[in-house]
A and B are shown apart, each in its own frame.
Chain A
Amino acid sequence: MLRYIIRRLLYAVPILLGVTLVTFLLFYAASSPEQMARRNLSAKNPSKAQISAWLVQHGYDKPLSQQFTRHMSELLLLRFGKSDATGEPIWARLRTGVGPSSLVAALVFFGSVIVSVTLALLVAYFRGTYLDAWGVFICVLLMSITYIVYIIGSQFVLGRLLKYLPMAGYEHGIGAVKFALLPMAVGIISSLGGDVRFYRTVVLEEMNQDYVRTARAKGVSEQAVLFRHVLKNALIPILTKTILSLPFIMMGSILLESFFGIPGLGTMTVDAINSQDFSVVRAMAFLGTILYILGSVLTDICYALVDPRVRLE
């Protein structure tokens, strides 16, 4: 097991190298530092001296090869340096942002897994009936609405019309939950359509297997078949989807956080985008990648834990 995990993590090294290379190409080669400086300097028409001063200050004046090695080594050692726009160290901002972000992400993650798997089982249980047909159609409807409209709509209905929840803001400590509920609702609803449809297909596929027929023939009740036999076997694809969605929930809350005023990593990224702060975006892209790779390793390990047929050698 341990050997497998280590080997799996070693596979991630070339991918990480590749990602650092991609970010380098994107941020250094595709856009000239002069442009970046121009965008970052507040003056409308910065003078040559101002631009070169900015370049020297941020280390963009060195030859490309030197910048390349610096960029690669810094990212790989997780030394993100300072923000291009504000000069704050990026790690400090990450540390303050990670708490609120994880709270929202955890709520969205567990909420959406529970809700969508339950609904999918329900729809699969009533397969072939009107409930099933309408359920699938509603899923397609839900899939066709953009994230932004979900956010605006739920904020409007729950926060303004019904006044159940605060519209935006954040408060540290236990009060945070109150502010995280609305983002959680949006996060769950927005992914509901696609998830339920996917899980339903997975469950139905299992339901056509021979062992289900055998169980029914033995006289096992329909509920027991669904929960004990089918759900267990459907867990592998469900696990893959949920765990691989983890970094996307983290990153998907980029929009949620900035909209609801939660001071997390998402808000930080949006601020960085608005102020053209390349070093922060670069750091976030790299961190997101690490999360994704960790997620995929985690999925493989979970396979082995859930399914005795899978051996990790």
Chain B
Amino acid sequence: MTGQVLQNLIPIAVVAALMVTIVQAGHQPLWAEAYRRLRRNRLALAAICVIALFGTIAVLDSIGWQNGRNEPRLTIIDRVFQKPAERTYSAPLAGVTAGEQRPHKLVVKHLLGTDAVGEDVLYLTLKGCRTAFLLGGLTSLIVTPLALLFGMTAGYFGRRLDDAIQYLYTVLDSVPSILLLIAMMLVLGRGIVQMCIALGVTSWVGLCRLSRGETLKHRDRGYVLAARALGASHSRILVRHILPNLMPIVIISVTLGISNLILSEAILSYLQLGVQPGVGSWGNMIDAARLELAREPIIWWNLASASSALFILVLAFNVLGDALRDAIDPRLRSS
């Protein structure tokens, strides 16, 4: 019972923590200014709305309960959108199944049609949100602190430590990332957590290199010297003085990184290394739909809805990342 409650509390706690952080950051002048600029950017506002919408679906899909003792745990999305299964494919809003010699009548209408085993495509697409956010969010959550720790210590202390850390990430970076990803997934096996770890190992290098370079730039600045003269310890200087100066660039690169993580999922699914079948995922839907275009009649709705959902979310993250860059640091402006 407590496990059930805990399972529902985690997504709520994550969202609450995120909200509090965003609001708290708004009290600082730098971020308040950035928010003001963001608010004037209509495209960015649209992107935030899209991400919030997808995020809400993901959270609703994480909160669920059992009806009885031996019943499966159904999430809110399951309860609202799951429809009785049909026999096989059916076109959006069609009354009968498609691709059968003798079309059967459908039980209910399906807004986006059904797939090979008769599952509602809209429902499957919504289920994919949670996986996408888990991959993007969890991986960033694992990667960012590690990359910052390595990058900042390397940049700050220099010498041997710097050499060692640089060696470590050059080695990892030298293996083409797709092959490293494939190798890790082969070894770890399929699953969301495994995929997060694999994506984390392949994606921390960029951020680590970035934070090392930035720390190197800040290390000899006046404010760091002043802090040291006042007797601040190394860890205090790193965390209280240098880290806040790195935050803008880190947040931009994490936002843009999330879109790459979500895109990688589709590639891994094509290689049969994605999340397990049964867990909703756009990559698996695209992979399942890829042979269906060759059929007669063409089954397009399956592929179209999964790839548009993926496209819209990734686009939103890309737009938000660019807007953040423009808002936080005018020097880095893309135009």
Residues in chain A within 8 A of chain B (CB atoms): 14-15, 18-19, 21-23, 26-27, 30-31, 132, 136, 140-141, 143-149, 152, 155-156, 160, 197, 201, 204, 247-248, 250-252, 254-255, 269-270, 273-274, 276, 278, 281-282, 284-285, 288-289, 291-293
Contacts and interface: CB of A to CB of B under 8 A. Distances in A.
Interface string B265-303: 011011111000000000100110010011000000001
Q: A interface, by DSSP: helix, strand, loop or mixed? A: helix
B286 A148 contact: yes
B116 to A, nearest CB: 16
B334 A160 contact: no
B318 A144 contact: yes
Given A152-B290, A251-B178, A273-B273, A146 B186 contact: no
A152 B294 CA distance: 10
18 contacts: A14-B167, A22-B175, A26-B184, A140-B318, A140-B322, A143-B314, A143-B318, A144-B311, A146-B267, A148-B270, A160-B294, A248-B178, A251-B178, A269-B179, A273-B182, A276-B186, A288-B179, A289-B176
Nearest to B260: A143
Nearest to B319: A140
B176 A251 contact: yes
A31 B318 CA distance: 36
B315 interface: yes
Contacts of A285: 175-176, 179-180, 183
B179 A281 contact: yes
A243 to B, nearest CB: 14
A76 to B, nearest CB: 14
A148 B178 contact: no
Given A18-B171, A147-B267, 15 more contacts: A19-B171, A19-B174, A26-B187, A144-B315, A144-B318, A146-B267, A146-B311, A148-B267, A148-B269, A156-B293, A160-B294, A270-B271, A276-B186, A281-B179, A281-B182
B24 interface: no
A254 B178 contact: yes
Given A152-B303, A197-B334, A273-B271, A30 B188 contact: yes
B253 interface: no
B287 A148 contact: yes
B266 to A, nearest CB: 4
Contact of A274 (B175, B272, B283): B272
Contacts of B233: none
B319 A152 contact: no
Interface of B: 167-168, 170-172, 174-176, 178-180, 182-184, 186-188, 259, 263, 266-267, 269-273, 283, 286-287, 290, 293-294, 303, 307, 310-311, 314-315, 318-319, 322, 334-335
Nearest to B292: A152
A281 B273 CA distance: 14
Contacts of A273: 182, 186, 271-273
Contacts of B310: 146, 149
Given A146-B307, A252-B178, A289-B174, A281 B266 contact: no
B171 A22 contact: yes
B315 A141 contact: yes
A145 B318 CA distance: 11
Contacts of A269: 179, 182
A23 B183 contact: yes
A140 B178 CA distance: 22
A31 B187 CA distance: 6
B127 to A, nearest CB: 18
B199 to A, nearest CB: 14
Contacts of A160: 293-294
B182 A255 contact: no
Of all A-B residue pairs in the complex, the 3 with the closest CB atoms, nearest first, are A18-B171, A144-B315, A288-B176
B286 A146 contact: yes
B325 to A, nearest CB: 11
Contacts of A252: 178
B323 to A, nearest CB: 11
> Of B168, B186, B266, which is in contact with the most chain A CB atoms at under 10 Å from its CB?
B186
Given A144-B318, A160-B293, A281-B183, A15 B334 contact: no
A157 B307 CA distance: 16
Given A22-B171, A143-B318, A152 B293 contact: yes
A141 B318 CA distance: 9
A182 B270 CA distance: 19
B307 A149 contact: yes
Contacts of B170: 15, 18
Contact of B187 (A27, A146, A270, A289): A27
Contacts of A19: 171, 174-175
B266 A284 contact: no
> Of A21, A146, A149, A254, which is in contact with the most chain B CB atoms at under 10 Å from its CB?
A146
